[in-house]
Amino acid sequence: MVQQHLKKFRRISATKDGITRLGLTEWEDKAHAAAVAVFGRSKRVKKIRDLAGNTFLVNGEGKGRYVVMGSHLDTVPNGGWLDGTLGVAAALTAMQRILTKRRNAPVAVAIWADEEGYRFGNGLWGSRAYAGAVSAEELLLRDRDGKMLAEVLAERGLQKKPRRSRETGELRAKFVYKQPIEIAVYGEAHIEQGGRLIEASKRIGLVTQVSGMRRWRLESRGETNHAGTTAMRERRDALVPIAGMVGRLPQLVRGLEMGVITCGAMGVEPGVANVIPDRAWAIVEHRAPSERDQDEIARRLKELVATTGPRAPGVGLEMIPISEMRATNLAEEVTQRLEAVCKKLDAESMRMVSMAAHDAMNVARVAPAGLFFIPSLRGVSHRPDEDSRREDIKLAGEILYRWALAEVESVLSAH
Distance between CA atoms of 97 and 397, rounded to whole angstroms?
Answer: 10
pLDDT greater than 90 at residue 7: yes
pLDDT digits 0-9 by tens, 145-167:
999 999 999 999 999 999 888 87
Answering whether pTM is above 0.75, one says: yes
Identify the bridge partners of residue 25 per DSSP, sorted by sequence position.
none
Closest CA to 208 of 90, 327, 126, 91: 327
Average pLDDT over residues 15-41: 96
Q: Is the pLDDT confidence value at 103 over 90?
A: yes
Q: Of 205, 217, 246, 137, nearest to 358 (Cα)?
A: 205
283 three-state secondary structure: strand
Question: Does residue 322 register a pLDDT over 90?
Answer: no
The CATH label, of 3.40.50.2300, 3.40.50.720, 3.40.630.10, 3.40.50.300, for the domain at 2-134+177-211+329-414 is 3.40.630.10
What confidence score (pLDDT) does residue 367 get? Answer: 98
What are the tens digits of pLDDT across the range 29-48?
A: 999 999 999 999 888 999 99
**pLDDT score of 164:** 87
Q: Looking at the domain 214-325, which fold is it? A: Alpha-Beta Plaits (3.30.70)
Domain range annotation of the chain: 2-134+177-211+329-414, 214-325
The yes-or-no verdict on residue 217 having pLDDT over 70 is yes
> How far is 186 from 69, CA to CA, in rounded Å?
6
Residue 189 · residue 86 · CB < 8 Å: yes
Cα-based angle 288, 324, 331 (whole degrees, multiple of 5): 65
Q: Where does the pLDDT of residue 310 fall: very low under 50, low under 70, confident under 90, or very high at 90 and above?
A: low
324 pLDDT band, cuts 50/70/90, is confident
In this predicted structure, which of 62-66, 151-155, 201-205 has the lowest mean pLDDT? 62-66
List CB contacts of 283: < 8 A, sequence separation 6 or more. 121, 215, 216, 217, 218, 263, 264, 265, 266, 322
DSSP H helical segments within 76-229, as ranges?
85-101, 125-130, 149-155, 196-200
Stretch 328-354: mean pLDDT: 97
- First-last CA distance in the chain: 31
